[in-house]
Structure 1
Amino acid sequence: MSNPGNEFTLEFLKDLSLVKALGVIVLISGAAFAFLIWLIYYKGGSDYSSTLITSLPALNALLNATSAVLIVLGYKAIRERKFRKHMKLMLTAFFTSTLFLISYVIYHNFHGSTPFEGQGLIRPIYFFILITHIILSALVVPFILTSFYFAFSGKLAYHRKYSKITLPVWLYVSVTGVLIFGILKVFNQ
């Protein structure tokens, strides 16, 4: 029986060495994370605001929730050996996460950082969620890109092993993104 993932192999990735692929992935991920740190913590917001801009956090939460659902459905599909469905769901989750990132950048370009006003027990809970979310969001981009590289280069054994790390990290980042939005919505009134 042929390998069921071979139909999804992209020749240019198959010929790309692991070292070069990881180098490109680390470079792209590092640049994106550095840009986000600058945007949120150093650039500051602008004076412009609109209903569209103020509605972006809710859209971001919706995109994160959608990604989380797609990731779970993609996991379910691969457990059922539905390779094509798995691929479509994971690519859609990646697309949804990419839309989230674009919306997130637009929002923080105009808004800057959001201080947390909650007090009491919720404060350490919020900051634990936020800090773990930030750390893992820095790792999730290279994890996702590496998982896709392994899948689309035909290195399916590596893809399976690596995705066992990628999936829970990506799911955690997506779910905690929704939690952060909800906590801010409730406690920053």
Structure 2
Amino acid sequence: MDPNTNDKLTVRFLKEVSITKAISVIILISTLAFLFLIWLIYYKDTAATTAAWVNQLPALNALLNSASTVLIISGFIAIKKKKYVTHMKLMLTAFVTSSLFLISYLLYHNFVGHTIFPGEGWIRPVYFSILISHIILSAFVVPLVLTSYYFAFSGKFKTHRKVSKWTLPIWLYVSVTGVVIFFILNSYV
């Protein structure tokens, strides 16, 4: 990599943050976000009334997850072609679409709460297998993504590559299964 490109891809203050401090903050933020999500979906009372636009949020969520999937794959292709700046732009855009998904998802579940799956028969174990794996891996994807970004923007590209080898397939799986869950739920609602 050209040294000038390397400087363009790093953020100066992140170079000064220790790995231990960065990982600790990432784990803390990720844990708090996941616990908030569990509380929001399973323990918070749902809204007494809901605006009509709230019912459109699951479709928006599927669209944002689909966009994230395309961006992640495109970013992977770009890095394989050693197009570092293009890779960075695509992955940042994937982060934005995933963040918008999370905001929309939280907003939806703030009004609706827990979604019950009404399907019966063979689809039930299929749906719950996908859902459970999706939930478990989504708990890991946030800290993995944030850790990948920390290593990239602090100029620790060798470590970034090592972490990203785990981040990429998990982030892709969570994005794709989010869309699959949407379509399965919609076919039974």
Question: Residue 58 of structure 1 aligns with which residue?
Answer: 59
* SS of residue matched to 2:145: helix
Give the TM-score taking structure 2 as reference length. Answer: 0.97
Residue 120 of structure 1, CA deviation: 0.8
* Residue 108 (str. 1) matches residue 99 (str. 2): no
Residue 33 of structure 1, CA deviation: 0.2
CA RMSD of aligned residues (A): 1.0
* Residue 91 (str. 1) matches residue 92 (str. 2): yes
Residue 50 of structure 1, CA deviation: 1.9
Structure 1 CA distance, aligned partners of 2:73 and 2:6? 20
Question: Residue 125 of structure 1 aligns with which residue?
Answer: 126
Maintained 8 Å contact 1:44/1:113: no
Question: Residue 77 of structure 2 aligns with which residue?
Answer: 76
* Identity fraction in percent: 61
Write out per-residue CA displacement over residues 51-101 of structure 1, whole angstroms, 9 at most, x where no aligned residue. 210000000000000000000000000000000000000000000000000
Structure 2 CA distance, aligned partners of 1:156 and 1:104? 32
Question: Residue 11 of structure 1 aligns with which residue?
Answer: 12
Maintained 8 Å contact 1:5/1:156: no
- Ranges in structure 1 where 5+ consecutive residues have no aligned partner: none
Structure 2 CA distance, aligned partners of 1:5 and 1:83? 9
One-letter amino acid of the counterpart of residue 153, structure 1? S
> Which of 49-58 and 91-100 deviates more?
49-58
Write out per-residue CA displacement over residues 109-168 of structure 1, whole angstroms, 9 at most, x where no aligned residue. 000011001011110000000000000000000000000000000000000111000000
One-letter amino acid of the counterpart of residue 8, structure 1? L
Question: Residue 188 of structure 2 aligns with which residue?
Answer: 187
Q: Work out the number of aligned pairs and report it.
A: 188
Question: Residue 35 of structure 1 aligns with which residue?
Answer: 36
* SS of residue matched to 2:180: helix
Question: Residue 142 of structure 1 aligns with which residue?
Answer: 143
Residue 5 of structure 1, CA deviation: 3.1
One-letter amino acid of the counterpart of residue 16, structure 2? D
Maintained 8 Å contact 1:5/1:151: no
Structure 2 CA distance, aligned partners of 1:38 and 1:50? 22
One-letter amino acid of the counterpart of residue 71, structure 1? I
Give the TM-score taking structure 1 as reference length. Answer: 0.97
Structure 1 CA distance, aligned partners of 2:27 and 2:9? 24
* SS of residue matched to 1:5: helix
Residue 48 of structure 1, CA deviation: 1.9
Structure 2 CA distance, aligned partners of 1:127 and 1:52? 27
